[in-house]
Amino acid sequence: DAGITQSPRHKVTETGTPVTLRCHQTENHRYMYWYRQDPGHGLRLIHYSYGVKDTDKGEVSDGYSVSRSKTEDFLLTLESATSSQTSVYFCAISGGDRYNEQFFGPGTRLTVL
Amino acid sequence: LAKTTQPISMDSYEGQEVNITCSHNNIATNDYITWYQQFPSQGPRFIIQGYKTKVTNEVASLFIPADRKSSTLSLPRVSLSDTAVYYCLATDTGGFKTIFGAGTRLFVKA
């Protein structure tokens, strides 16, 4: 399995508080992604990164920001969490000679009360 | 990126071959077709990817006709452990901005 971890794995927070989720990889892959998955839905891309300090928006980026200061870490921040951001968040990576294949982390379950 | 359409759910029995069809009428010239599998409480896992004709690996086959407007994932001799959600995606050559639909929920019965 690809070396990709997410922290925390579970978090409960209150509306209006800032939240940061971390994705860490040991594969030295160039590309990193953040998705959210809601019940009955597939994954929706929030933001992605194509290199250190290079990021772009996905289809559901409103209310989220990201940062990538080094290859191995990709941070997702909810500046002011809302109940609609309650979801499971998955990080993914791709790169190397199989750059079209994404490897997913274990997910973070976030509950915003 | 092209939107893909696939059946919401399918049932099968152990030992049968399962074919899941995906429609992608507006696929771009540079797009690949990629399939992922997802078990409950886990992230998706790559199964297979192709551009045209047929691709086979140790777990599945992917058939893409010449017009590339559809594709079929074939799972030979499924087992109970193949019960999962299967996603069909059109991905560009960089693999960015992937769009996952709702997927097909496959339920394999004994």
Question: Which residues between 53 and 92 in chain B have a beta carbon less than 8 angstroms from any beta carbon of chain A?
Answer: 87, 91
Answer whether A50 sits within 8 Å of B44, measured CB to CB. no
pLDDT one-digit tens code per residue, A14-37? 999 999 999 999 999 999 999 999
Give A63-93 pLDDT, tens digit per residue: 999 999 999 999 999 999 999 999 999 999 9
Of B97, B101, B102, the CB nearest to A58: B97
Q: How confident is the model at residue B7 (pLDDT cuts 50, 70, 90)?
A: very high
Q: Is B30 near chain A, with CB under 8 Å?
A: no
CA distance B34 to B66: 16
Residues of A in contact with B22 (CB under 8 A): none
Residues A23 and A82: their CA atoms lie apart, in Å, by: 21
Nearest-Cα residue of chain B relative to residue A97 = B94
